[in-house]
A and B are shown apart, each in its own frame.
Chain A
Amino acid sequence: GAVVSQHPSRVICKSGTSVKIECRSLDFQATTMFWYRQFPKQSLMLMATSNEGSKATYEQGVEKDKFLINHASLTLSTLTVTSAHPEDSSFYICSATRTSGGAQEQFFGPGTRLTVL
């Protein structure tokens, strides 16, 4: 099966610092990756669509200057939470799209728990 990794799995930081989260597709190339956030006992909310070699597309209400996304290669996308504040504390999950035989399927990373003190 397709494998997507995230690093770090857990991060605790002070308010005002920036945090970078990496998402990698380990055994396939992904032209499109997605970033989600999930609050406790709630579903996943799509933040942005990350396309290799181009600017990310952000969902309504998501601040692009706050959540910087870079998709530098077909196997790596990064999400940087700039000047993090306690309200940014959440579970961040990425996914990568694999195309096989004309069908597209998303595979999800294990998530990154961000706690901002």
Chain B
Amino acid sequence: KQEVTQIPAALSVPEGENLVLNCSFTDSAIYNLQWFRQDPGKGLTSLLLIQSSQREQTSGRLNASLDKSSGRSTLYIAASQPGDSATYLCAGRFSGGYNKLIFGAGTRLAVHP
């Protein structure tokens, strides 16, 4: 069974800190992995998409990595800001999954001034 797990479930940091969110998956036959941001009561905003052939993707202060062999992905947020406060979800698309995304439970991030 394909599963995606995110650790920690919640994280609170002071403004300015660099932080890492973790995502692990059980099936190494991953097609791609996507990181999303969700604000309370809102839909999902795609942050980064990493193909299985890639090791990392960067967008501004965000950097996501993918290690298929260990079944892990990380989202690195540099110089965190209060506006980064949200729930961060990772989701994997696996071979044979017919384009289905399997979501982790998310990490609720709070950045306080």
User: Which A residues fall within an 8 A CB radius of B?
Assistant: 6, 32, 34, 41-46, 49, 57, 91, 93, 95, 97, 103-111, 113
B42–A111 touching, CB < 8 Å? yes
A109 to B36, alpha carbons, bound, how many Å? 13
Which A residues are CB-close (under 8 A) to B102?
Answer: 46
Chain B residue with the shortest CB-CB distance to A105:
B49
Contact with A along B101-113 (1 / 0, CB 8 A): 1111110100000
A34–B100 touching, CB < 8 Å? yes
A44 to B90, alpha carbons, bound, how many Å? 11
Which A residues are CB-close (under 8 A) to B49?
Answer: 103, 105
A103–B51 touching, CB < 8 Å? yes
A104–B105 touching, CB < 8 Å? no
B46–A105 touching, CB < 8 Å? yes
Which A residues are CB-close (under 8 A) to B44?
Answer: 44, 93, 95, 108
Interface check B68, CB cutoff 8 A:
no
Supply 14 A–B pairs (Cβ within 8 Å), ascending by A. A6-B43, A34-B99, A43-B89, A43-B105, A43-B106, A44-B103, A45-B103, A46-B102, A93-B43, A97-B99, A103-B51, A106-B34, A111-B42, A111-B43
Which A residues are CB-close (under 8 A) to B31?
Answer: 104
A107 to B99, alpha carbons, bound, how many Å? 12
Q: Apart from A43-B103, A57-B98, what are 15 other A-B pairs with CB-CB below 8 Å?
A: A6-B43, A41-B108, A43-B89, A43-B105, A44-B89, A46-B100, A49-B98, A91-B41, A95-B44, A103-B32, A105-B49, A106-B99, A108-B36, A108-B46, A111-B43
A100 to B43, alpha carbons, bound, how many Å? 22
A51 to B67, alpha carbons, bound, how many Å? 31
A113 to B93, alpha carbons, bound, how many Å? 26
A110 to B38, alpha carbons, bound, how many Å? 10
B104–A43 touching, CB < 8 Å? yes
- Distance (Å) between the CB of B39 and the closest chain A CB? 10
